[in-house]
Amino acid sequence: MILLSVTVFEDRVADTAMPREHLNLHGLNFLIADSNSYFCMICQSILRSFGATKIYEARSAMDVNRTLVEQRIDFLLCDSNLPPEGGLRLTHEIRGSVSSEYRTIPILILTSDTRINTINAARDAGANMVVAKPVSVSSLYNRLAWVAFHPRSFVDAPTYFGPDRRFKIEGYPTGVGRRKGDNDESVVEEGGQAMGQDDIDSLLNLARKG
């Protein structure tokens, strides 16, 4: 079995247009944590094109914590530079909160800094995936689909709590984002619905399990 290191977080390939009707996130609640309102608007548009209807915004870590208390959130998209101390610090705090129902919530880190050190730091903080800014439809689709179709067990160690940092790549959903040398294994049948109710339920279960 070949286990890839953190390099699988990187999006080094050209984006490929995805049929928007293939992804339906209706029923999931998203929280976009970014101090830039224009960027949040772009992310909202992309998520709504996938069927999401309940999308919340936060401008700081304090806003995130307040929203997690007041609302039911299934998925967190967090900017790496979120005020006041950054999205990685917030991710680490969420993962480290033993009593929090959101300890295992799927977290995508959004960043314009795709250097390996940044990606390593996001992984070590407990992020599920990293999405490079500027965010495109296909890059966000790929990451959401990866979390849905390739759920990873959580590791509870003295110095780390989060998704298993070792995972095998078996081809991107519908082939999008595939790298040369990746196994040619289709996750969904071509022309079928990329994320059905079972897949949405898997996201919900991942977010809510304690």
Taking residue 24's Cβ as centre, other Cβ atoms within 10 Å add up to: 18
Buried/exposed code over 61-98 (b: 16+ C-beta within 10 A; e: otherwise): bebbbebbeeeebbbbbbbbbbbeebbbebbbbbbeee
- Which domains does the chain carry? 26-208 (3.40.50.2300)
User: Residue 9 is encoded by which pair of tokens?
Assistant: 């977080």
The string of pLDDT tens digits covering residues 68-97 is 999 999 999 999 999 999 999 999 999 999
The string of pLDDT tens digits covering residues 10-33 is 333 334 333 333 557 888 999 999
pLDDT at 90: 98
Torsion angle in degrees (nearest 10) through CA of 110, 114, 120, 123? 20
Which pTM was predicted? 0.71
**Contact indicator for 58, 31 with CB cutoff of 8 Å:** yes
DSSP-derived letter for residue 82 is -
